[in-house]
Amino acid sequence: MDFTLSEEHLMIRDAARDFAKAELLPGVIERDNKQEFPTEQVKKMGELGFLGMMVDPKYGGGGMDTISYVLAMEELSKIDASASVIVSVNNSLVCYGLQAYGSEEQKQKYLTKLATGESIGAFCLSEPEAGSDATSQKTTAIDKGDHYILNGTKNWITNGGSADYYLVIAQTDREKGHRGINAFIVEKGWDGFEVGPKEDKLGIRGSDTHTLNFNDVKVPKENRIGEDGFGFKFAMKTLSGGRIGIAAQALGIAAGAYELARDYSKIRKAFGTEICNHQAIAFKLADMHTKIEASRHLVMKAAWDKDQGNNYDMSSAMAKLYASQTAMEVTVEAVQVHGGNGFVKEYHVERLMRDAKITQIYEGTSEIQKIVISRGLLRD
């Protein structure tokens, strides 16, 4: 067993770290306050190759492994989790989904633009009545021969307003249940496709989350992904990889908050000494660091499983479950270590605490991860 990162991995990690400090940190508080999408920063991340990291270079991607991706996600998330969720959705849901299951024509037409960041993607599974219970799709895609007619509502869609291309899951044949679900590529601007208002959120406020409405949207048959009825499996398989990205995001949020708390504890004095010399604070740091290391091992193991071609449904669920819980616990403690300063925006930890919460909810809540893990255990 070798825990050493390669030269290439270290370079990618450092590039992401440098970018986050130079380009994401300035303005991160303002974007959070204003709920402002990081348009310029996303453009630069596209130019640097962060939006299609694992995509085959023949489609414009970086051809990197999942380890590289999680290293970058951790570094970006230490500073700006709003920017990192945009990266995560584009890389591990949209690009991965198209690369793994799209047709050659779909890859040429859509993936090439998504991998370079020329276009941004969104992944649309959730509905008002189908969140955790994802097979209960109400959105319909009626087969009309050479096209489908799409009707329904998707909600909570990340990149909802800023995306160009949307992977939309919909029910074609209700009698077949989840085996009658399909996935489609829908372009912004098509007749009947309407982007609803932006959600006003607790955290990741720089990312734009929207409801989407589809009213008799005509989708050409060549925009269906995979065989008829593959849509639910497409969503599940894609989400297994997506969860590695969100686990890495949670890890980064925790690590970012920990580093701020550690540094603060070395300069803030109380009772005549730096607060890190009080055992209560030093032990908090020890607990935070231990949980972060444990999360990092789970995240790396899930990424490694994916790179090795192993099944990663359980390892990605375990990584997300544990890293997101760690993100919550560590960010709360980071605020505590900062005392009153932790409660104000300029010290960053309150934002990281707000951002941490979403990692326990999206791409499958913690309860859903436990369903995936326990079913996997019992099946084995």
Binding site for ligand FAD (CB under 6 A): 89, 123-126, 131-133, 156-158, 201, 204, 209, 358, 361-365, 367-368
297 Cβ contact partners less than 8 Å away, ≥ 6 residues apart: none
The secondary structure of residue 36, as a DSSP letter, is: -
Instruction: Name which of ligand CAA, ligand FAD, none residue 239 binds, using a CB cut-off of 5 to 8 Å depending on partner kind.
Output: ligand CAA
* Euclidean distance between CA atoms 99 and 81, whole angstroms: 25
- According to the binding rule CB under 6 A, does residue 324 interact with ligand CAA? no
* Residue whose token pair is 């008002």: 128
Query: Any contact of residue 232 with ligand CAA (CB under 6 A)?
Result: yes
Q: Which is nearer to ligand FAD, 12 or 372 (CB)?
A: 372
Q: Is 368 in the site for ligand CAA (CB under 6 A)?
A: yes
H-state helical runs in 80-210 = 81-88, 96-101, 104-106, 112-116
The nearer residue to ligand FAD, 232 or 264, going by C-beta atoms, is 232
The residues that bridge with 140 in the sheet, in sequence order, are 151, 171
Which residues are bridge partners to 130 per DSSP? 127
Closest approach of ligand FAD to the CB of residue 159, in Å: 7
Nearer to ligand CAA, 152 or 364 (CB): 364
Query: Judged by CB under 6 A, does residue 41 bind ligand CAA?
Result: no
Stretch in the footprint of ligand CAA (CB under 6 A) among 143-151, 162-170, 237-245, 252-260: 237-245
Q: Quote the CA–CA distance of 279 and 286 in Å, as a whole number.
A: 10
Residue 130 sits at φ, ψ, to 5 deg, of: -145, 80
Report CA 120 to chain centroid distance, whole Å.
Answer: 14
- Is the CB of 30 or the CB of 367 nearer to ligand FAD? 367
Q: Does 135 bind ligand CAA (CB under 6 A)?
A: yes
Residues belonging to the active site: 363
Of the candidates 319, 298, 187, the residue with the CA atom closest to the CA atom of residue 240:
319
Can residue 237 be called a binding residue for ligand CAA (CB under 6 A)? yes
Q: Does position 74 bind ligand CAA by CB under 6 A?
A: no
Amino acid at 380: D
Given the rule CB under 6 A, which of 112-120, 272-280, 290-298, 358-366 is the region that contacts ligand CAA?
358-366
Q: Apex CA 129: angle with CA 125 and CA 134, to 5°? A: 40
Binding footprint of ligand CAA on the chain (CB under 6 A): 85, 89, 123, 125-126, 132, 134-135, 158, 178, 232-233, 236-237, 239-240, 313, 362-364, 368, 371-372
